[in-house]
Structure 1
Amino acid sequence: MLVKDDIHALSNAVSGPVALPDSQEFAAETFAFNVATVHRPDVVVGAADARDVAAAVKWAAEHRLPVSVQSTGHGADSAIDGGLLINTRRLQELTIDPVERTARVGAGVKWRSVLEASVPHGLIGLHGSSTDVGVVGYTVGGGLPVLGRAHGFAADHVRSMDVVTADGALRRIDAESEAELFALMCGGKGNFGIVTALEFNLFPLGDFYGGGIIYPGVDAAPVLTAFRDWLPTLPDDASPSISLLRLPDMDFVPPPLRGQFVVHLRFAFLGNREAGDALLAPMRAVSTPLMDMAGPMSYLDVDQIHMDPADPLPFTDGGALLTGFDEEASAELLRLAGDGTDCPLLLIEIRPLGGALSRAALSRPGAPPNAVSGRDAAFLLFLVGLQVPEAAEAVSASIHDILAAMAPYSTGYTLVNFHGAPGDEADRARAWSPALYERMVAAKSTYDPGNLLRFGHTITGVTPAS
């Protein structure tokens, strides 16, 4: 049990705020974008810099308290109960090098800030469906980009990182220095340390074409058939996905779509209007779209492609990697979640992988491969439901039933950022191949032998310190 002197020692060791559950600052420091997840640590540190992170980890190790970390809380799929929470949202370092085409960011920086700094130089980073997400948490989980088929996973393009390991040491690591730790931190979801800064590659931006087409849900079957037939015609520079959406009557939904069941085609393409229109023509000929928002766009408007909610919401999710999505799989999905069903889920997404996402990335010849999984999968299936009291039980049951029904088409594995709430050790291990998981367990015993970092999607192959 923490006493006054313990908290005093922590406050003296860091320059950022220290908050206890009975303080006014506690709610703000523990707040997660996923408001269904309410963290209840024993104490939280609002780290002002990397030195605060290191000092807080050392303090926690001395007091035998487990440690967790959060910036935005977009990936907060399980609540923190007890221990020390380190909030990194104040780490706002951001530097763009337009000559080297790199960015260096602190652990609190969101993708929106990166784009606002890089796009004027004609450069972009490999963000996901929402630029409101923190760069670091997204990337250490692999990072599935909007333009992933063109460039691969975000973790494939990390050049270096500053990380505080469980011994409280602040290390600068890359493919030359501590290569195995660096490789496993790129996709290992923070199992071996707390990242305080990342340096990663940026990519040149030319013409960009993107947006979405929304179809009536009653036409889900022919739209999915057309989508499957259309995919083999696309170049790697085109990254599409398609979702079944049951949109609530809430402010974050555009007024014409509130309360409707629709099919949403998302499309991102590195090309001009003529080429984009030609690629989309087969899907524009399907059904009678309710809305067609695809065309040339400023890259700073890229969030309009997926239209993810901008405000915090209570939600729960789950995912699986699929070997394919043929007519039989599509029919099975629509049986449970198509028009006329009582499926309570907000979103069911089918995201094609392939292209550069399927190619292993080595930082240098002879370097160990990173910890990103899913390169052998054809699709990602991702399910999201609002976690509100009146629907929570039905949402959880629906996620379970759909994943079970799609199991014959699954690889048996997941992407860690799309896994959902982590279960037991066998469930958590599904985010990586067996060989990779064995590497990670070995590294855990080296870099965190006391299992100090044990919250979230952590490896549970090590017995926690008592």
Structure 2
Amino acid sequence: MTMTRDVDTLDELRDAVPAPVALPGERVYDRATPWNVAVPVRPAAVVFATSAADVATVMRFAAARGLRVAVQATGHGATAVGDDTVLILTKGLSGCVIDVVERTARVGAGATWQQVIDAAASQGLAPPCGSAPGVGVVGYLTGGGIGPLVRTVGLSSDHVRAVELVTGGGEVLRVTPDEHPELFWGVRGGKSLLGVVTSIEFDLLLIDEFYGGAMYFDGVDAAAVLHAWRSWSAALPETVNTSIAIQQLPPLPGVPAPLAGRMTVAVRYVAVGQAANRGARVDAEAAERLLAPIRAAATPILDSVGVHPHAAIGMVHADPVDPMPVGEDHALLADLPAEAVDAILAAAGPGSGSPQTIVELRLIGGALARDPRHRSAFCHRNAAYSLSTIGVLAPPVAEAVSPHAAALVSALGSWCTGGQMPNFAQSRAPERLSRSYDQDTLHRLLALAARHDPAGVLA
């Protein structure tokens, strides 16, 4: 679609939808720029939705005129959007209501986890959030959600109770295990394949504290720490969650001086009580004893481990807050033998010349591996570890980030499952879908999409 040729059509959009609409060149149009500024997002128009009715109107408008529709909240998992697409921004749908009696939260599509964390903490409750509190709730939950307590409480989307969904056909539906159960199955893990989620309801957890944080080691100790973490993590109980990351953080505001401009290794650790989600207090002494093998591996240069309120969960991973251009890759591992750790060190450890800002391994399994009460489209519950690479796409390493990440994943091919989680390494490439879902799940998702989006509006 050529913008200059279709201005009249887009002016009709302003007449059709009561929500604010911005076109290229207008001042507020650039609010569509995603958190990941490396992703080109230049839609035909931006609609600042304030209700499910706004979203439904846009769907019907787009279907009638051969346009497509995409949706974005924060843009952490942004994919490219071109001028054949109307982009719905959901930041105006930011409501958050906590039901203390039912221990649930109902939030709009524009809400971030930080909003829910803050609202729930005042009631002694915790959401099944991700490691980055600035990420949007809905995008995270529709992709499944691997949070910092995943081994203990399971997949975050397994805690979803109900969804308000606008289909590609422009219907506004309440989706639960009993109402439109096929969509309830698919929207939890299927990302935006089946429609635009305008609000979502999920369980809150009775977890008010954890023992944990991060220990940072000098890069020269990378081999000792990674190999110690590999052996140690394999025998951890489900009350413990951990990840490890080789980091090369730039000397920017907000980066602690001991970590800036050098290679370090971060070991993230979160332990909760034995009766997690039933209000049990964490046994700090037992959690500290469990961590002892990592403390013995090398001397930390920075240590934030201790007892913290759940509201401080974001400090464990300390993910960046400010927008930046990033390139990501991702793989799931069935096993992590010593040879796999050596391959990671060769590609990303000291002396490797790695352009990656972060190369992370997360221990998964535990509660994630068990069948949930309500099955969903999320696959790959049998993976043992998750590998993620994140590189800043800025000179002088911008061109090297993606090829290097692909080479690292290839080097681990013997231990990779071939799968990928929907929330990681976002793209619209066909191979992403085939890696995110097994064949039966993908076939079922695409059949549901064809039924509820007959015009193929959803981008």
Q: TM-score, normalised by structure 1?
A: 0.93
Are 2:10 and 1:7 equivalent residues in the alignment?
Answer: yes
* Residues 361-412 of structure 1: per-residue CA shift (max 9 Å, x gap): 133xxxxx20112201100000100011432211111111101111111001
1:174 and 1:95 map into 2 onto residues whose CA distance is: 18
Are 2:387 and 1:381 equivalent residues in the alignment?
Answer: yes
Q: Which residue of 2 aligns with 1:141?
A: 143
2:62 and 2:237 map into 1 onto residues whose CA distance is: 50
Q: Which residue of 2 aligns with 1:154?
A: 156
Shift of 1:191: 0.2
What is the SS of the residue equivalent to 2:266?
A: strand
The answer (yes or no) to whether the contact 2:126–2:208 under 8 Å persists in 1 is: no
Q: Which residue of 1 aligns with 2:275?
A: none
Are 2:347 and 1:342 equivalent residues in the alignment?
Answer: no
Q: Which moved more, 1:319-328 or 1:414-423?
A: 414-423
Name the Cα RMSD after superposition: 1.4
The answer (yes or no) to whether the contact 1:320–1:419 under 8 Å persists in 2 is: no
Q: Which residue of 1 aligns with 2:401?
A: 395
Q: Which residue of 1 aligns with 2:306?
A: 295
1:167 and 1:292 map into 2 onto residues whose CA distance is: 52
Shift of 1:37: 1.4
1:371 and 1:381 map into 2 onto residues whose CA distance is: 21
Shift of 1:206: 4.0
Q: Which amino acid aligns with 1:436?
A: T
**Cα distance change on mapping 1:35 and 1:252 into 2, 3 Å:** farther
Shift of 1:199: 0.4
1:282 and 1:378 map into 2 onto residues whose CA distance is: 21
The answer (yes or no) to whether the contact 1:354–1:377 under 8 Å persists in 2 is: yes
Residue correspondence of structure 1 range 86-105 to structure 2 within 5 A: 86-105=88-107
Shift of 1:139: 0.5
**Cα distance change on mapping 1:209 and 1:81 into 2, 3 Å:** farther
Q: Which residue of 1 aligns with 2:28?
A: 25
2:81 and 2:222 map into 1 onto residues whose CA distance is: 36
Q: Which amino acid aligns with 1:55?
A: T
**Cα distance change on mapping 1:217 and 1:333 into 2, 3 Å:** same
**Cα distance change on mapping 1:404 and 1:232 into 2, 3 Å:** closer
Amino-acid identity (%) = 39
Q: Which residue of 1 aligns with 2:440?
A: 435
Q: Which amino acid aligns with 1:290?
A: I
Q: Which residue of 1 aligns with 2:169?
A: 167
Q: Which amino acid aligns with 2:416?
A: S
**Unaligned ranges ≥5, structure 1:** 364-368, 455-466
The correspondence for 2:128, drawn from 119, 126, 134, is 126
Shift of 1:126: 1.0
1:395 and 1:421 map into 2 onto residues whose CA distance is: 16
2:164 and 2:37 map into 1 onto residues whose CA distance is: 29
The correspondence for 2:220, drawn from 218, 243, 262, is 218
The correspondence for 2:74, drawn from 56, 61, 72, is 72
**Cα distance change on mapping 1:88 and 1:214 into 2, 3 Å:** same
The answer (yes or no) to whether the contact 2:109–2:198 under 8 Å persists in 1 is: yes
The correspondence for 1:250, drawn from 242, 249, 252, is 252
What is the SS of the residue equivalent to 1:144?
A: coil
Q: Which residue of 1 aligns with 2:39?
A: 37
The answer (yes or no) to whether the contact 1:248–1:258 under 8 Å persists in 2 is: yes
Are 2:237 and 1:235 equivalent residues in the alignment?
Answer: yes
2:269 and 2:291 map into 1 onto residues whose CA distance is: 9
What is the SS of the residue equivalent to 1:345?
A: coil
2:140 and 2:291 map into 1 onto residues whose CA distance is: 29
Shift of 1:127: 1.0
The correspondence for 2:363, drawn from 348, 352, 355, is 352
1:228 and 1:3 map into 2 onto residues whose CA distance is: 57
1:147 and 1:284 map into 2 onto residues whose CA distance is: 21
Are 2:419 and 1:413 equivalent residues in the alignment?
Answer: yes
Q: Which residue of 2 aligns with 1:310?
A: 321
* Residues 251-288 of structure 1: per-residue CA shift (max 9 Å, x gap): 24212211110110001111232122112111111111
1:242 and 1:338 map into 2 onto residues whose CA distance is: 13
What is the SS of the residue equivalent to 1:48?
A: coil
Q: Which residue of 1 aligns with 2:278?
A: none
What is the SS of the residue equivalent to 2:317?
A: coil
Q: Which amino acid aligns with 1:18?
A: V
Q: Which amino acid aligns with 1:138?
A: Y
Q: Which amino acid aligns with 2:97?
A: T
Question: What number of residue pairs does the alignment pair up?
Answer: 447
